[in-house]
Amino acid sequence: MTMIRGEHLYKVFGPQARKAVDLFEQGWTRDEVKEQTGALGAVIDADIDVAEGELFVVMGLSGSGKSTLVRMINRLHDPTSGTVEIDGVNVTELDGKELRDLRAGKVSMVFQRFALFPHMTILDNAAWGLETQQVDKDERYEKARKALSTVGLDGWEANYASELSGGMQQRVGLARALATEADILLMDEPFSALDPLIKRDMQSLLIELQSELRKSIIFITHDLNEAMRLGDRIAVMKDGRIEQTGEPDEILSNPATEYVAEFVRDVDRSRVLTAANAVQDPLVTLSPDTQPRAAMVQMRDHEAPELFVTESDRTLVGAVRDDDVAEAAKRGDRTIRDVLHHDYGQTGEDTPLGHTLLDAARYTLPLAVVDEQGRLVGVIPRVTLLSALANRDVLAEDGDPDANGSGPPDAAELAAQAANDGQPVASDGQAHSRGETTTGETPAEEGAHHG
């Protein structure tokens, strides 16, 4: 269900604001309009749509209009044009009293520089949203205490903001926003002013709180990694316009514009992309009941020195090597059951790719991706893994795929090869990995000889 909907939102500062909107609608650029009218288009034709319980990130550099956009939701800035709807109510039409009620009850806000009241105690700070609603003292202190406890600030009620560290101050900011029990949180770069370590703590706190409270959150940031870590969906803004809205991996793998592509270049993909983003269909799998000779034919036809073995319901039971299968055939085994081995990496679909690097490096077989029931979903050949992390095009330039230090020594070479080859396919991946780790000869040939 849609909680917040903003349609064709414009915010223009300066003279002739209405005229500027008309010009923007005719397709003028921000610079042209500024030249013509002297007005600055802070937000231009923005559409956003936030579902109930969704954490929606608006990302952009400073001056991109993201703070202005979020301030139009609770009308700290009145939109020059366009509408905002919250839970079906048209916010743009509310009068003063209705707007104050909305801000006190339905939508609360967290600020970049905390914006705590220095002359009030922490408790009074946290109770502010209730004080504006004229909730009586006992009740508002009780709720404020509860909110402070939620963010881990028990015992600090009587202190003043200046006595707290930055991270703790922002916890108060968060408690102030939670105390009103608003359904919607607007968070304007809440963690940008914090040290990296504290920032991570606060992100974890937010994730934890969100899993319990399921608020609808609009979260502003200029930090792509933060956006990727927190966002259910992300909108990327540039020069007042929303360039792209989508899920994190969508933004990463399918940047809609040059700008977004540029922006996501530096993201730490190993943490954002999960196994599910890189998984491919396995080339072919064998059943444990396959006769060794039939297995050898399969392996030769697919030029694969090793294959995964699954039951008929795709439950992964192991893998076989070509020489073991040949041995079994020589012995006259009826099936390949006895020559199964487990020398391969296995991972779940939600595992971040960064965590799979070690397994991928250790074994010759591609990484097996299995679901919760142990069924084989697909495989991730090492080349695919590395090129997903490196985003191919980028890699050719900086050639640094194993920044984490956990990649295999030949990783750069492999990935560079992938970059030249273009789209790698599963069989290539399997063959390559075998070749590279043994002799370094032309891998496809070697695979064929084995067959």
Partner 1 sequence: MADEAFSLPRIPIGDGVDAAVSFLRTELSGFFNAVQTVFGASVEAMEWVLMLPPPLVFAAIAGLIGWRLRSWQFGAFAFVAFSVVDSMNLWDETISTLSLILIATVLAVIISLPVGVLAARNDTVSTLVRPLLDFMQTLPVLVYLIPAVLLLGIGTPGGLAATLIFALPPGVRLTELGIRTVDKEVVEAAEAFGSSRNRTLMRVQMPLALPAIMQGINQIIMLALSMVVVAGFIGAGGLGNEVVRSISRVEVGTGFEAGLAVVILAIFLDRLTSVVGQPERNKSKQDA
Interface positions with partner 1 (CB under 8 A): 74, 76, 99-105, 108-109, 111-113, 115-119, 128-129, 131-133, 160, 162-163, 176, 180, 186
Tokens of 9: 């939102």
CB atoms near residue 302 (< 10 Å): 17
Region of 173 on the Ramachandran plot (φ > 0 left; ψ -120 to 50 alpha; else beta): alpha
C-alpha torsion sign, points 291, 347, 279, 437 = negative
CA distance 53 to 39: 36
- The neighbouring-strand residues paired with 56 are 218, 233
Supply the minimum distance, in Å, between the C-beta of residue 128 and partner 1. 5
Supply the minimum distance, in Å, between the C-beta of residue 208 and partner 1. 24
Supply the minimum distance, in Å, between the C-beta of residue 135 and partner 1. 12
Largest CA distance in the chain: 89
CA distance 122 to 157: 5
Among residues 138, 171, 169, which one has the least CA distance to residue 152? 171
User: Which residue's CB is nearer to partner 1, number 176 or number 215?
Assistant: 176
Q: How does 119-141 read in b/e, with b if 16+ C-beta sit within 10 Å?
A: eebbbbbbbbbbbeeebeeeebb
User: Which residue's CB is nearer to partner 1, number 185 or number 267?
Assistant: 185
Supply the minimum distance, in Å, between the C-beta of residue 401 and partner 1. 42
Among residues 266, 260, 310, which one has the least CA distance to residue 285? 310
CA distance 335 to 291: 4
User: Which residue's CB is nearer to partner 1, number 67 or number 290?
Assistant: 67
Supply the minimum distance, in Å, between the C-beta of residue 182 and partner 1. 9
CA distance 5 to 48: 6
User: Which residue's CB is nearer to partner 1, number 176 or number 229?
Assistant: 176
Supply the minimum distance, in Å, between the C-beta of residue 357 and partner 1. 43
* C-beta of residue 416 within 8 angstroms of C-beta of residue 395: yes
Tokens of 38: 């002297």
User: Which residue's CB is nearer to partner 1, number 103 or number 382?
Assistant: 103
Supply the minimum distance, in Å, between the C-beta of residue 153 and partner 1. 18
User: Which residue's CB is nearer to partner 1, number 131 or number 249?
Assistant: 131
User: Which residue's CB is nearer to partner 1, number 76 or number 317?
Assistant: 76
Angstrom CA distances, 399 to 186, 269, 367, 413, stand at 39, 15, 23, 9
The DSSP bridge pattern shows strands 306-310 and 316-321 to be antiparallel
User: Which residue's CB is nearer to partner 1, number 111 or number 219?
Assistant: 111
Among residues 156, 195, 193, 183, which one has the least CA distance to residue 172? 156
User: Which residue's CB is nearer to partner 1, number 176 or number 269?
Assistant: 176
User: Which residue's CB is nearer to partner 1, number 176 or number 233?
Assistant: 176
Supply the minimum distance, in Å, between the C-beta of residue 180 and partner 1. 7
Supply the minimum distance, in Å, between the C-beta of residue 132 and partner 1. 5
Supply the minimum distance, in Å, between the C-beta of residue 145 and partner 1. 18
Angstrom CA distances, 62 to 14, 187, 220, 384, stand at 19, 15, 11, 35
